[in-house]
Chain A
């Protein structure tokens, strides 16, 4: 089954404790992206990657890191989480072409930083 998986689905942590949210897709997509969703703000793009070792900042990259060492994986790293990073996080992937294709989203990760 074609899918984007995220782990963990739920996470409660404390300020300053480094964490990684994993994202993996099995559709051989070149493009992957991370979003955060907050009430009243919609989804905002954190980072995106157009291929292995190619990443770029979205609109809200502060406090986050990403890496793309393999095509299928795109982990999101919070090196020193703070309460304002409490949010619902989505990973997404799509194929690249002459057009902007549909993004396939993971199930989301609910992160709470105390």
Chain B
């Protein structure tokens, strides 16, 4: 069975600082994809970043980057130059097999002005 673990229920960061959200996963599949989704107070789910497991290079999207450690099954999200609009729930997600997706329990990020 696949599992996704987000061990930090809540985190805080000062505006303009950097924060890292952790995610570990377990899957028996050899081919899988990893995602970070953001859920602001509006409840809308928004894709932040996507990583193919077969790629060694870490994905980046502007201020968002990942640290993908395949052997350790770790997929952390780094947010640089944090902004007030980054405050949200962040969900780590693994997609594999016949298009089944497993989400973590989420990390609530607070950004302090």
Which A residues are closer than 8 A to B by beta carbons?
A: 31, 33, 35, 40-45, 48, 50, 56, 58-59, 88, 90, 92, 96, 99-100, 102-103, 105, 107-108
Contacts and interface: CB of A to CB of B under 8 A. Distances in A.
B102 A102 contact: no
Interface residues of B, number: 24
A70 to B, nearest CB: 19
A58 B100 contact: yes
Interface string B8-44: 0000000000000000000000001101000000011
Interface string B89-112: 001010110111111111000000
* A-B residue pairs, 5 tightest by C-beta: A100-B33, A105-B45, A43-B103, A100-B95, A42-B105
A41 B33 CA distance: 21
